[in-house]
């Protein structure tokens, strides 16, 4: 059996991947004011990585993105626990969040919220768990 040349898919993925990842980051950052947030942002990033896995094989993707997704899951859980437990240091109940308005030179006024860090933890956990499931099933022979 000759190797099937999949050049149309491989070329288009190189452009489409950036659109999907950009959109997932947009969904993640807009989560406080619009529909979106860590969960579907993470799922969409994982979807982009799955598209890469469909196009290339599992070893190539591991070479392009040398992540251990189990560690990514653990880092995400640490983010969630850390931002929740950080409130104890300020003598307020667990999971109390704080926000402030900051003037950044180029970007203008930003409202920074610690719930975003919690959401970043959710994002990491979702990407990590999805990719772990899919890679584990994919490597099984």
Partner 1 sequence: MNVSVIVDFLIGFLILAGALLCLIAAFGVIRLPDVYTRNHAASKAATLGVMFILLGTFIYFYAFEGHFNSRLILGIVFLFMTSPISGHLINRAAYNSGVKLWDKSVRDDLKKYNSNLMDKSSAD
Q: How many chain residues are in contact with partner 1, going by CB under 8 A?
A: 9
**Helices first, then strands: H and E counts in the chain:** 5, 2
Q: C-beta of 122: minimal distance to partner 1 in Å? A: 22
For partner 1, the closer of residues 48 and 80 by Cβ is 48
Q: Min. distance of Cβ 9 from partner 1 in angstroms? A: 6
The 10 Å Cβ neighbour count of residue 109 is 8
H helix or E strand, kind and range, residue 17: helix 7-29
Stretch that binds partner 1, among 3-11, 91-99, 100-108, 118-126 (CB under 8 A): 3-11
Is 73 within 8 Å of 128 (Cβ atoms)? yes
Question: What does the CA dihedral 92, 94, 96, 102 come to, rounded to 10 degrees?
Answer: 90
Shortest distance (Å) from residue 49 CB to partner 1? 17
- Using the contact rule CB under 8 A, the part of the chain among 5-13, 100-108, 113-121, 128-136 near partner 1 is 5-13
Q: How far is the CB of 37 from partner 1 (least distance, A)?
A: 16
Question: DSSP letters of 53-83?
Answer: HHHS-HHHHHHHS---HHHHHHHHHHHHHHH
Nearer to partner 1, 1 or 106 (CB): 1
Q: Contacts with partner 1 in 6-35 (CB under 8 A)?
A: 8-9, 12, 15-16, 19, 23
Distance CA 1, CA 78 (A): 48
Binding site for partner 1 (CB under 8 A): 2, 4, 8-9, 12, 15-16, 19, 23
């Amino acid at each position: 059996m000759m190797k099937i040349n999949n050049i149309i898919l491989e070329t288009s993925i190189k452009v489409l991947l950036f659109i999907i990842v950009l959109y997932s980051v947009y969904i993640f950052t807009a989560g406080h004011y619009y529909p979106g947030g860590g969960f579907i942002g993470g799922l969409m990033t994982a979807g982009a990585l799955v598209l890469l896995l469909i196009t290339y094989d599992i070893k190539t993707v591991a070479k392009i993105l040398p992540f251990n997704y189990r560690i990514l899951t653990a880092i995400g859980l640490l983010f969630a626990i850390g931002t929740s437990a950080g409130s104890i240091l300020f003598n307020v109940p667990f999971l109390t969040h704080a926000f402030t308005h900051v003037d950044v030179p180029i970007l203008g006024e930003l409202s920074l919220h610690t719930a975003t860090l919690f959401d970043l933890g959710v994002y990491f956990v979702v990407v990590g768990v999805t990719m772990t499931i899919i890679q584990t099933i994919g490597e099984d022979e």
